[in-house]
Amino acid sequence: MKKGRLEAFTDGVLAIIITIMVLELKVPHGGSFEDLIPLLPVFGSYVLSFIYLAIYWNNHHHMMQTVKHVTGSILWANMHLLFWLSIIPFATGWMGENHFTEASVFLYGVILLLAAIAYWILQRLILKTHGKESLLSKALGKDIKGKISPVLYVLGIIGVFYNIWFSGTIFILVAIMWLIPDRRIERILKSE
């Protein structure tokens, strides 16, 4: 099985997910600046989800470059990842439209966690098929970001019941952590 079509399909689905989210930004009926204000939380959650999906595309892109052969299980693990990512527009819209209620931030965190787990499973399967001496294995190294992220998501999910802004901050921090180029963050994390 060639990886080209798997990449093309994944690109297609991610491109659609990232773009379809903008449909949750419903055009307001009024035409003045004040009419935009109620949209600000929706816009904020749109920005965050856009960054998350861009990170996933970026990481997926890198990971696939190390892949040589696609097995049936890799294909399904990829579909599983796409499934949770496809729910992000819904979770984003719900969180934004309801101005970050407990339940909506909780759901958003859960979807992020499930997507992270799905990504981890996909990575595991690729590592398993390609061996410890593979490119991916070397590129990942200790995979500190990959190990910290789920812990932070869980913290954010539980934190919802104490303070929503605490959870929101965590979800933003995870995104920033992935945005910062690898070497720098690893140095920061090692020095702690």
* Residue 15 near its own copies by CB under 8 A: yes
Smallest distance from the beta carbon of 149 to its own copies, in angstroms? Answer: 19
Out of 131, 181, 190, 191, the residue judged to bind its own copies by CB under 8 A: 181
- Kindly tell me which of 105 and 152 has the beta carbon lying closer to its own copies: 105
- Number of residues located near its own copies, criterion CB under 8 A: 61
Smallest distance from the beta carbon of 153 to its own copies, in angstroms? Answer: 18
* Residue 66 near its own copies by CB under 8 A: no
Smallest distance from the beta carbon of 148 to its own copies, in angstroms? Answer: 20
Question: Do the beta carbons of residue 153 and residue 113 sit within 8 Å?
Answer: yes
Question: Do the beta carbons of residue 103 and residue 137 sit within 8 Å?
Answer: no
- Kindly tell me which of 50 and 166 has the beta carbon lying closer to its own copies: 50
Out of 66, 97, 117, 172, the residue judged to bind its own copies by CB under 8 A: 97
Residue with tokens 């991916």: 136
Out of 18, 81, 114, 126, the residue judged to bind its own copies by CB under 8 A: 18
Burial (CB count <10 Å: 0-12, 13-18, 19+), residue 48: buried
The interface region with its own copies, picked from 72-80, 109-117, 145-153, 160-168 by CB under 8 A, is 72-80
Q: Which long-range contacts (CB under 8 A, 24 or more apart) does 67-74 make?
A: 67/3, 67/126, 67/130, 67/136, 68/3, 68/130, 69/1, 69/3, 69/129, 70/1, 70/2, 70/3, 70/6, 71/1, 71/125, 71/129, 72/1, 73/125, 74/6, 74/122, 74/125, 74/126, 74/129
Question: Do the beta carbons of residue 17 and residue 84 sit within 8 Å?
Answer: no
Q: Which two tokens stand for residue 73?
A: 């299980």
* Residue 94 near its own copies by CB under 8 A: yes
Site of interaction with its own copies (CB under 8 A) = 1-2, 5-9, 11-20, 22-25, 27-33, 35-36, 47, 50, 54, 57-58, 61-62, 65, 72, 75-76, 79, 82-83, 86-87, 89-90, 93-94, 97-99, 101-104, 106-107, 179, 181
